[in-house]
Amino acid sequence: MKETGNILIVDDDAGVLQTAKFILKQHFTSITLTQKPEEIAFLLGQKQYDVVLLDMNFRPGETTGDEGLTRLKEIVTKSPNTSVVMITAYGELKLAVEAMKNGATDFIVKPWENEKFIATILSAFQLSTSKKQVSTLKSINKSIVNPQTQVIGESTAIKQVKSLVDKVAPTEAAALILGENGTGKELFAKLIHEKSNRNDMPFVKVDLGSLSSTLFESELFGHEKGAFTDAHKQKEGRFELASGGTLFLDEIGNIDPTLQSKLLSVIQNQEVYRLGSNAAIPIDLRLVCATNLDIHKEVHEGRFREDLYYRLNTFEITIPPLRDRREDIQPLCEYFIKSLSKRYRIEGLSISSEAIKKLRNWNWPGNIRELEHTLERAVILTEDNIVQAGDLQLSGRSIEVITGEVNFKHLEKDAIQRALLKHNGNMSQVAKELGVGRTTLYRKLKKYDL
């Protein structure tokens, strides 16, 4: 199968052009030839090229390589995502090295071996593809205005977390975010990225709880075409896509020990191997992980590797549950009510003081996510523009108390039951609402005999 790629070959030797085209047309959909380097600017304006093969010299007897270097700089400036492979003679290796310093991806020495020639161009094509994906992710990061990047609340507990994030973010240290479901762990991971020196590069999230062991390596490390039955084309893994930026691994505590060892190896060596390849791909990224498990207990009981744990938690950040920051409930409500007002086009939407008081007295097993869903349901049910206490539907969901303490097992079971009813047993939607992976959800369903 041919790659959907555009290749431009620039050489004053017609024989070189035709030979290169004959070899490459078996691998790429579009090959453009020119013997005139002065046409490069025009051609780049007509089409986006993935790879340009560029000769070093264009006049008989010339060996300085000046024009080749000049055209190289022109291509790098005009089309930074295009990979440039220099065509050199054997005696021009010093010029080839100079070209690499000026932005060339690689070089080919004439006369070339066909297999090496093809491998070099395919590698350059893959690099160009990766550059374009990174550029797309950067554009998305810059263009999306996401209100969740705001941290609402001025309680002492949340101020302490904000302060720690401000200290951690500018460093390159790995961060491990702990906290219950719905506390906003992903929000704080994004905040760390935004306040870091990598904030103009991609923020890539992976929900490890939703990945089966068979998909783990392909998703994180990538694969080559033909690496397994359904690998119809090459795929970059999340580590590659996040290189230069931040990789957020959510539900890190849920991966099994075999996969933990593979993850540890990548983090230690700062390189990945795609499935089906023996070529190491260097990576440079900031790692932020999160889990709702008691990770210290997991390490102590041998379910989570101690050496991996220490790699991940240079800084450990614990997000407090909503019940420990009740003074933030009112500003959170005001924020969500304003957002819901825009979503449902309800002018003058507000919430009563009685409703706020009732919300303050609830224990929020689902934390901020549950608060948001409760308010959305109330906005839909309210008959006027003011959300009243009766609209909240909290009265029938009493908190069971045992010797003065909340029975959180009961609350968790109750939250799962409500989510199952709400989504008619759709496990993907239930897991999404509860903030857990499907594997975790099935384990809890078995635990509570649901």
Q: In angstroms, what CA-CA distances link 222 with 225, 277, 280?
A: 10, 10, 12
Whether 408 has a pLDDT exceeding 60, the answer reads no
pLDDT digits (tens, 9 = 90+) for 81-118: 899 999 887 667 788 888 888 889 988 888 888 888 99
pLDDT class of 150 with cuts at 50, 70, 90: confident
Residue 2: per-residue pLDDT: 67
pLDDT class of 446 with cuts at 50, 70, 90: confident
418-440 mean pLDDT: 77
| Dihedral sign for Cα atoms in the order 394, 398, 403, 409 | negative
353-374 mean pLDDT: 93
pLDDT class of 169 with cuts at 50, 70, 90: very high
Q: Please name the residue that has the structure tokens 């009563």.
A: 352
Looking at per-residue confidence, does 372 or 47 come out higher? 372
Whether 406 has a pLDDT exceeding 70, the answer reads no
Q: Picking from 56-70, 227-241, 274-288, 421-435, which range would have the lowest pLDDT averaged per residue?
A: 421-435
What is 399-450's CATH topology? Answer: Arc Repressor Mutant, subunit A (1.10.10)
* CA-based nearest residue to 184, from 328, 8, 311, 54: 328
Residue 410: per-residue pLDDT: 61
Its pTM stands at 0.62
301-316 mean pLDDT: 94
Q: In angstroms, what CA-CA distances link 15 with 6, 61, 92?
A: 20, 17, 20
d(C-alpha 120, C-alpha 23), whole Å: 12
Residue 369: per-residue pLDDT: 92
pLDDT digits (tens, 9 = 90+) for 112-129: 888 889 989 988 898 888
Question: Does 323-396 carry CATH code 1.10.3720.10?
Answer: no
Residue 395: per-residue pLDDT: 55
pLDDT digits (tens, 9 = 90+) for 219-276: 999 998 888 888 888 888 999 999 999 999 999 998 988 899 999 999 999 999 999 9
d(C-alpha 218, C-alpha 224), whole Å: 9
Whether 403 has a pLDDT exceeding 70, the answer reads no
Residue 384: per-residue pLDDT: 84
Q: 209, 248 in Cβ contact below 8 A? A: no
Total residues found in the chain within this entry: 450
pLDDT class of 145 with cuts at 50, 70, 90: very low
Question: Does 158-318 carry CATH code 3.40.50.300?
Answer: yes
Whether 48 has a pLDDT exceeding 90, the answer reads no
* CA-based nearest residue to 52, from 63, 77, 66, 243: 77
Residue 210: per-residue pLDDT: 82
CB crowding 224-234: b at 16 or more within 10 Å, else e: beebeeebeeb
Whether 56 has a pLDDT exceeding 90, the answer reads no
Q: Picking from 135-144, 281-290, 378-387, which range would have the lowest pLDDT averaged per residue?
A: 135-144
What φ, ψ does residue 65 adopt, rounded to 5°?
75, 10
In the CATH scheme, what architecture does the domain 3-140 have?
Answer: 3-Layer(aba) Sandwich (3.40)
Residue 401: per-residue pLDDT: 35
**Which string of DSSP letters, residue by residue, matches 66-84?**
HHHHHHHHHHHHH-TTSEE
Highest mean pLDDT among 87-96, 113-122, 170-179, 396-405: 170-179
Name the packing angle between helices 367-381 and 329-343 (round to 10°): 50
Whether 132 has a pLDDT exceeding 50, the answer reads yes
Residue 336: per-residue pLDDT: 95
Residue 136: per-residue pLDDT: 61
**Which string of DSSP letters, residue by residue, matches 244-255?**
TSEEEEETGGGS
pLDDT class of 211 with cuts at 50, 70, 90: confident
Q: Where in the chain is the domain with CATH 3.40.50.300?
A: 158-318
pLDDT class of 214 with cuts at 50, 70, 90: confident
d(C-alpha 161, C-alpha 271), whole Å: 32
pLDDT class of 393 with cuts at 50, 70, 90: confident
Residue 137: per-residue pLDDT: 62
pLDDT class of 432 with cuts at 50, 70, 90: confident
Q: Tell me the H-state helices in 149-237.
A: 156-168, 185-194, 213-221
Residue 399: per-residue pLDDT: 42
Burial of 377 (0-12, 13-18, 19+ CB in 10 A): middle
User: Across all residues in the chain, what is the average pLDDT?
Assistant: 86
Whether 351 has a pLDDT exceeding 80, the answer reads yes
